[in-house]
Amino acid sequence: MTVDQVQDSQNPETEHPSLPHIVHLRVQTPRGLWSMQEPKDATKRPVYPISTKIEQVIQDAREVFKFVEQDSKYTLFRGDEILEPQRTLASYKIEDGTLLVLSVQGGNA
């Protein structure tokens, strides 16, 4: 088996051809909505491979909205469901266009 064949066999698209490999998210934060259009001056957009960990989405949202408080607790929710930082978007079956909510407890949100 060649290296290319090994990589192809590990590609989620070949295992689950109906699953998109990239998702565009919307993340509501106490400081505003992060989406493909908002905020206008955002340095990055919420576009992720489904293999991305939840903690990366939290980190990026913090960066976009300049949440610098280290003593705060940042939690990402989908509805009432708490998303665990070490799990991936794929493990929650997050779909394109999903609205997530960033909760900030403590500090100056």
Instruction: Tell me the per-residue pLDDT of 32-84, one tens digit each, with 9 for 90 and over.
Output: 999 999 999 999 999 999 999 999 999 999 999 999 887 789 999 999 999 99
Q: Which pLDDT score, from 0 to 100, does residue 12 have?
A: 42
**Span 21-105: which CATH code?**
3.10.20.90
What DSSP designation does 88 have?
Answer: B
Q: Which of 107, 9, 92 shows the shortest CA–CA distance to 57?
A: 92
Dist CA 65 CA 78 (whole Å): 19
Q: Which two tokens stand for residue 50?
A: 């489904």
- So where are the chain's domains? 21-105
**E strands present in the chain:** 22-24, 26-29, 32-34, 47-49, 73-78, 81-83, 99-105
Q: Say if residues 109 and 30 touch (Cβ distance below 8 Å).
A: yes
